[in-house]
Structure 1
Amino acid sequence: MQMTLMEYITQHFNGDLHRYAQSEGVSSEQIIHWIDNECHVIKGRLFMPVRHLPGEQAQ
């Protein structure tokens, strides 16, 4: 199953970014950066894009 990081946080942490950040051992600001960077959760793993390629549309 694939979902955005925000969808995952909403589903598993009731949308609480601070609580999710604590569970990951990072700051809430870091979580916001991951969300802005379009990170996804796929099969229970967090995937972070390295970079967006030219000509590719974000979906």
Structure 2
Amino acid sequence: MQMSLMEYITKYFNGDIYRYAQYEGVSREQILKWINNECYIIKGRLVMPVKHLPVKEIL
């Protein structure tokens, strides 16, 4: 199952970003960076994109 990091925080931490930050051992600001960077959860693992690729096809 895949969900955005914010969906995960809402579901498992009642939307409390600060509490999730404490759980991860990082700052609230770091969590906000992860959310803004479009990190997501797959099978219970935090997945961070390495790079956003352009939408148009490269030929």
**How does the TM-score come out when normalised to structure 1?**
0.91
Deviation at 1:54, TM superposition (A): 1.4
What RMSD over aligned residues (CA atoms) do the two structures have, in Å?
0.9
Larger of the two Rg values belongs to structure: 2
CA distance in 1, matches of 2:16, 2:6: 10
> Helix, strand or coil for the counterpart of 1:55?
coil
Deviation at 1:55, TM superposition (A): 1.9
CA distance in 1, matches of 2:6, 2:40: 8
**How does the TM-score come out when normalised to structure 2?**
0.91
Residue ranges of structure 1 left out of the alignment (5+ in a row): none
Superposed structure 1 runs of 4+ greater than 6 Å apart: none
Deviation at 1:42, TM superposition (A): 0.4
Identical-residue share of aligned pairs (%): 71
